[in-house]
Structure 1
Amino acid sequence: MASKRVPTVTEIGPGTSALHAAFCDYVSRVFTRADFRRWTQWGEWNDDYRTFAVVDDGRVLANASVMRMRLLLEGREVTGYQLGAVGSLPSERGRGLARAVMNAALAHCGDAPVLLFANKSVLEFYPRFGFEPRRQTLFSASHVARPGETAAPQLDVAEADVRARLRMLSDEGLPVTERFGARGTAAIASWYAANGFARPLRALSDDAWVFTEVEGETLFIDDIFARAPFDLRAALPRLIDRPISSIQFGFTPERWWPGAVEAGEDMEADLFVRGVPSPREANLFPVMART
């Protein structure tokens, strides 16, 4: 009996622009709410982002993407990777293509820590590659505040100079959490903005930017990009347009709000890890650093 042919996997990086359109088309077909076109046009596809794809006649049939990251694990910075956009076209499923691209992506990662956020329909897929589920915890705080006289201006991530400044703050500034997070995640945050998934970005100063928005009486703070620590509590009146009674954090807020409490498990965050040591305390990987 003839052996089953292993599909050829092609690596696509920032310089493989001839295949960018094919990758973007694949994403729109498999993940109907996601798109990479605008993000790519913005020039945000950098050398940290690689995709491993089965390509046939100019079409991407299956893919596993890899984002190289500067992970923070209990204050220690290590090089790690995060997988995303894993799957295959509906018409190509059952051929082993997803397994082939996963193997290629993981070979690229080597022995480094790897994490991914899975879609609930494929939770049984990733343990086959050595991944294990990891609990994620929500954090909140009861806090009453009213709007101040001067609101922090909103920034437009579509502007190249805003993205450049965001990159600088992300690369050189404080990671939003050191318990389980990452530094240098501006390109991921810009993807959320390019897709319309990000909350407004507001500037408290040139060196302190916050993705945040009020819903009902709750202030959602998804991420903070800052060169140095600042008094978040004192800054809240500039970030709200109506009174609030609580705050929900999109990260572990040990630095920014030490009195925050655990608010249950994040049931939307199906995190899987491989080679990532478990933090000693409850944690939430930043929502705007997830691919």
Structure 2
Amino acid sequence: MGLNSMPPIVVVGPHDTGLQAAFCDYVPQVFGRADFRRWCAWGEWNDDYRAYAMLEDGRVVANASVMRMRLLLEGQEVRGWQLGAVGCIPSHRGRGLARGVMQAALEACGAEPVILFANPKVRQFYPRFGFQPWKQTLFAAGHEAVPHGPPAPTLDPEDAAVRAGLAALSRDGLPVTERFGARGYSTIATWQPASGFGRPLRRLGDDAWVFAGVEGDTLYLDDVFAHGPFDLRAWIPRLIDRPIRSIHFGFTPERWWPEATEAGEDLEADLFVRDLSPSREPHRFPVMAHT
């Protein structure tokens, strides 16, 4: 194959197990510790997720994936897409392969809005495709608490019943934020524990689960999946194993902690948007909804 020729692009879906295996081999070559194998084994790759992969000799050498999203913008639901796993293996860079898979993925998205979260090292790449960067704000609140009462149980997403429960809460429950968020992203949220990332999933009764964990004297509350409003503050002593002095939120907490304040800009992952104007109010797209 000549240096300027492009390998063929295939579309990998939920039933393409052989191609999924090739995709799973590709991911750590580009993203280090990231791993899709357990996520695939759990059956979380569904019809909402498609990988546009370039194949060479049976190997995926470049890829751009799309996830169908139910985005929320100021309380209004908008159908859109989120890109992820975009890249090219090191040995094949410099040939425009990433550009080729990006074009294929974006064609699949049509005229609907698209978002993505990118490594800051590649922030010059996405504006070439009509994306613009959008600021994400960190939120925190001072809150002193000590452990009290039975600890909130930890749930294991490897359990199919737990995944089904999370899917129901995510699909039908109260969105964690309406300023700029989403519905129905449980299969994104499960990818993090499947890959060994993220904080534990804790049960606050039948109708409210949270991803949360303590580091130092801070409770990190990454997401709330609930059927309706409840007293989150009353559960804080059961979410901690040591005294805390503050809470950091992985989402815009206008609903769950309205007095939270801005605590700087989120610089760990750059948000890019295309054909979309998120809220001009300070906001943070839920971290458990990042692909």
Q: Would you call these one fold, judging by a TM-score over 0.5?
A: yes
Partner of 1:119: 119
Partner of 2:194: 194
Letter in 2 for 1:281: E
The answer on 1:160 being equivalent to 2:183 is: no
Partner of 1:106: 106
Report how far residue 6 of structure 1 moved.
5.0
The answer on 1:173 being equivalent to 2:148 is: no
Q: Is the 8 A contact 1:167 1:186 kept in 2?
A: yes
TM-score (norm 2): 0.97
Report how far residue 7 of structure 1 moved.
4.3
3-state SS of 1:247 partner: strand
Aligned partners of 2:146, 2:5: CA distance in 1, in Å? 64
CA RMSD of aligned residues (A): 1.2
Letter in 2 for 1:130: G
TM-score (norm 1): 0.97
Letter in 1 for 2:255: R
3-state SS of 2:39 partner: helix
The answer on 1:203 being equivalent to 2:177 is: no
Letter in 1 for 2:224: I
Report how far residue 120 of structure 1 moved.
2.0
Q: Is the 8 A contact 1:179 1:283 kept in 2?
A: yes
Report how far residue 147 of structure 1 moved.
1.3
1:225-264 residue CA offsets vs partner (Å, 9 max, x unmatched): 1111111111211111111111000000000000000001
Letter in 2 for 1:208: A
Letter in 1 for 2:89: L
State the identity as a percent: 67
1:86-142 residue CA offsets vs partner (Å, 9 max, x unmatched): 011111111111111000000001111111111122111100000011100000001
1:169-220 residue CA offsets vs partner (Å, 9 max, x unmatched): 1111111111111111110111001111120111010110011011111110
Aligned length: 289
Letter in 2 for 1:205: G
Letter in 2 for 1:152: A
Aligned partners of 2:231, 2:119: CA distance in 1, in Å? 36
Structure 2 gap ranges (5+): none
Aligned partners of 1:6, 1:155: CA distance in 2, in Å? 45
Aligned partners of 1:5, 1:156: CA distance in 2, in Å? 46
3-state SS of 2:99 partner: helix
Q: Is the 8 A contact 1:7 1:100 kept in 2?
A: no
